[in-house]
Structures are given as structure tokens and as C-alpha cells.
Amino acid sequence: MALIVQKYGGSSVADAESIKRVAKRIVDTRRAGHDVVVAVSAMGDTTDELLDLAHQVAPISAPRELDMLLSSGERISMALLAMAIHSMGFEARSFTGSQAGMITDATHGAARIVDVTPIRLREALDEGAIVIVAGFQGFNRDTRDITTLGRGGSDTTAVALAAALQADVCQIYSDVDGIFTADPRVVPKARKLDVVSSEEMLELAANGAKVLYIRAVEYARRHGVIINARSTFSSGQGTFVLAPGMTVPAAIAAIAEESAMEEPIVAGVATDLSQAKITVIGVPDVPGKAAEIFTVVAKSGANVDMIVQNVSAAATARTDISFTLPKSDAATALRALAAEQPGIGFESLVHDDQIGKLSVVGAGMRTHSGVSATLFEALSTAGVNIEMISTSEIRISVVVRGDDLAGAARIVHTAYGLDGDTDAVVHAGTGR
């Protein structure tokens, strides 16, 4: 018998029928002899709808009240799920984040978990109940207020519960079958991975893969939690995300030895259309200018990703600096830079939101040469122009025209030998 934490995303509990389907899955796990703790998201698009309501009532709302509002979404789904389980003849008890002992810092809207004290959950488990916890929320001891963990935070709730309760596995259920070598809606020949390393998963998540939230993967890696991403709508085993040295216990799943051992050079190709590019033109090529520019950008709250600086033109001793950032941060960053233009002394700003980012991720890059050559050759054959390049130890990313991104991803996927024999089955979902 194992202790299993399961997380169900909003699309898995979108309506009464779905809640009953999830209840059945939970009861089946219980019937198999396991203890079950469930973290649940708000039903369907509830969180977006609540945010929308807030905007209608007031253009800017107090962060404390926004968290009170948003945390109610998960309260609805947790209680309904417990009721559905009761009606199947099983004991279930729902708990809010604060009842469950999710202690966070005081940052409303993006709180970090600092401690988990699951006393009431342990009691309920000892009494034989299935435990349901509202995802995405916690409690701060100093302010004594409810906090939320940021969008997609229920993944983190689940992983934190798994760590605190020393669960055998944290199963994250969504509407996709697991982690794929690429987004199957972009690359139809994408294959589901049986196993992916947590460092590769972090790079994939940071570069556009949406199935798991990066904070949850980080938390799992730090606390030695095995994540298993799988679908609510099928019975496959999904994908196991493993940190170095971790193996999947036989009680949880039978993983073919070769897929557990396999270390492909490239694990996957991630695509991201959510970024924009800003180019600062005619920057005086003297020490300190990059510092001035990126201090202004950082103060605007923007999260810069890639940066490229050109060689300066000998005649003018000026250069161009381009960087990418989330589209949603671009307007604020542009305004902040424009305000400082006289001081910094650049000539102009160009904003481009038609870019796409393609990233190739694989731990095998450390020890294999020629990985980038394969990427550049594939893009060249496809006639795709590369605008920016950046690398980490296990990732190569390029910026291309947004319109070229899907085609480029398919060609690159083929070039690394990642194509499956058949097209991937895509459920209606978004991966949440």
C-alpha cells in the first residue's frame, strides 16, 4: 500500500460529470489499497471568471481581497468532489489551504510555500478518509491572511503535500497524456515520454511546455518527490519526472527498463509564442550602458529572457541591443526605457511581437558534440532565418519569425529522430 497524492486541474473538474469521473478515479485508487490525498483546482475557467468579475467591480483590487476571491474557486471544487466521493460510499474530507497547513510568505498573488503542517490531513488519513485539499492557496502566519500561489499553483500544492506527507508519488492529472517530445498540436508526430529528468523538465517548462508548472518541478526536485504527469481522460501511465538517483517504486508503476535507463541526447523541442523582442538602437558603445538599460527594464518588472548585442559600427561607436521578454511585459518596459532615453542616449526603440522561440532540450548535450549543428542545419534546410541564439548547458534556443515556428519545430523534431510512428492523440485540452 502506498500514499498517493493526486492533483486534478481545472479541465478535469469542469462540470458535474467530470467531477464524478474524477471521484471514480480517486475511489478506484483507494480500492486498490492506497491512501489518497487530492489537491484540486477550481472548476474549468473559474479563476479567469473571478478575475474578470473583480475587474468589472474595480479597475485595481486590493491584493488581499483578490486572494480571498480567487481562493474561493478551489473551495467549490473540493467540497463538490468530497460529496461525489461520499455518494460512492467512501469517506472523504475536504480542507482549505490553511486547514491543510499550507504556510506561505505574505506575497499575495504569488506566495511561496515556507512550511507545510498537515496535522489535520494525517488525522483524516489515519481515520481512513480520502483527503481533498483546495489547491493554489495558503495562509500567512504574520498577517493571518489567505494567500494564493500564482496561476497554476495547484501543481505546487500537490507537490508540497507529497513532500510533507512523504508520499510515494505525486500524480498530476490534466487533459493531456503526459510530457511529449513537443507540443502535439504543433508537431503531430510528437511522442509521449515515459520518463524525463527533472532538469530537462525544468528547461522544457521554462521554455514553453505547459503541462507542469516550473515552481512545482523545482519543489519536487528539491524535496525528492516523484512527479507523474498523466491524463484524467485515458488510462495510460503518463510520464514520470525523476531527479538523479530516483527510481519509480514497483508498487506505483511498471516502467520498462530501457525507458528508465534511456538518456536520449535530445529529450524534446519546446515552442513558445508568448514572447516579444525589444531592440534598443544606437546605444553608445561605452561601459555601463547595458547596466543602465537592464536596470530600467528590471525596475519595470519585466522578466528578460534572451539578450543579444551587436558589434558596434566603427564609424558611430554605437551598437544595437535586442532582448526578449513576455509580451505582457513589453508595453511597460518600452515606456520605462523611453522615459530614460535622454539619460542613456540611445537613438530609438523597436518593438516586435511576431517572434517565436524554439528550444531543443536534452541532458545528453553535455557529452555529445554536433547537437547545435543539427539544429542549424535543419533550420537552414527549411529556409528559416535565425534572429537570436542562446544556450544553457542542456538547451539551445533560437528566436525565429512567429509564422515560421510550427514548421521549424516539425523539421527540427524530425532531424533529432524524435518522430513517432503515428500521430499523437490530442484531447480537446490545453494541458491544464
Which parts of this chain interact with ligand ASP (CB under 6 A)?
A: 9-10, 41-42, 47, 73, 135-136, 151-154
Contact 432/9 with Cβ under 8 angstroms? yes
10-18, 205-213, 233-241, 329-337 -> range binding Mg ion (CB under 5 A): 10-18
Instruction: Assess 73 for contact with Mg ion (CB under 5 A).
Output: no
CA distance 42 to 73: 5
Contact 212/152 with Cβ under 8 angstroms? no
4-12, 63-71, 89-97, 276-284 -> range binding Mg ion (CB under 5 A): 4-12
Question: Binds 151, which of ligand ASP, Mg ion, none (CB < 5 to 8 A, cut-off by type)?
Answer: ligand ASP
List the beta strands (DSSP E) in 74-212.
92-95, 102-104, 113-116, 130-134, 137-139, 146-148, 169-174, 195-197
Give the full edge-to-edge strand order of the sheet including 307-309. 307-309, 318-326, 275-284, 348-352
Which class for 326: exposed (0-12), middle (13-18), buried (19 or more C-beta within 10 A)? Answer: middle
Contact characters 45-64, Mg ion, x per CB under 5 A: --x-----------------
- Chosen residue from 12, 18, 29, 41 binding Mg ion by CB under 5 A: 41
Report in angstroms the alpha-carbon separations of 314 from 71, 122, 146, 256: 58, 69, 58, 60
Which residue do the cell numbers 487533459 mark? 175
CB of 157 to ligand ASP, least distance (A): 8
What is the enclosing helix (H) or strand (E) of 152?
A: none
Instruction: Assess 184 for contact with Mg ion (CB under 5 A).
Output: no
CB of 154 to ligand ASP, least distance (A): 3
CB of 76 to Mg ion, least distance (A): 12
First to last CA, the chain: 29
CB of 112 to Mg ion, least distance (A): 19
Instruction: Assess 10 for contact with Mg ion (CB under 5 A).
Output: yes
Question: Binds 153, which of ligand ASP, Mg ion, none (CB < 5 to 8 A, cut-off by type)?
Answer: ligand ASP
CB of 10 to Mg ion, least distance (A): 3
Report in angstroms the alpha-carbon separations of 259 from 192, 267, 361: 11, 12, 17
Nearer to Mg ion, 132 or 406 (CB): 132
Which residue number places its CB atom closest to ligand ASP? 154
**Which residues, at least 6 apart from 361, have a Cβ–Cβ distance to it below 8 Å?**
200, 203, 204, 207, 266, 267, 268, 269, 270, 394, 395
Question: Binds 73, which of Mg ion, ligand ASP, none (CB < 5 to 8 A, cut-off by type)?
Answer: ligand ASP
25-33, 44-52, 95-103, 232-240 -> range binding Mg ion (CB under 5 A): 44-52
Helices (H), 137-264: 154-164, 198-206, 214-223, 257-261
Nearer to Mg ion, 10 or 178 (CB): 10
CB of 45 to ligand ASP, least distance (A): 8
CB of 44 to Mg ion, least distance (A): 8
Which class for 13: exposed (0-12), middle (13-18), buried (19 or more C-beta within 10 A)? Answer: buried
Nearer to Mg ion, 47 or 207 (CB): 47
CB of 68 to ligand ASP, least distance (A): 14
Residues found in the chain: 432
Nearer to ligand ASP, 73 or 97 (CB): 73
Q: Given the rule CB under 5 A, which residues bind Mg ion?
A: 10, 41, 47
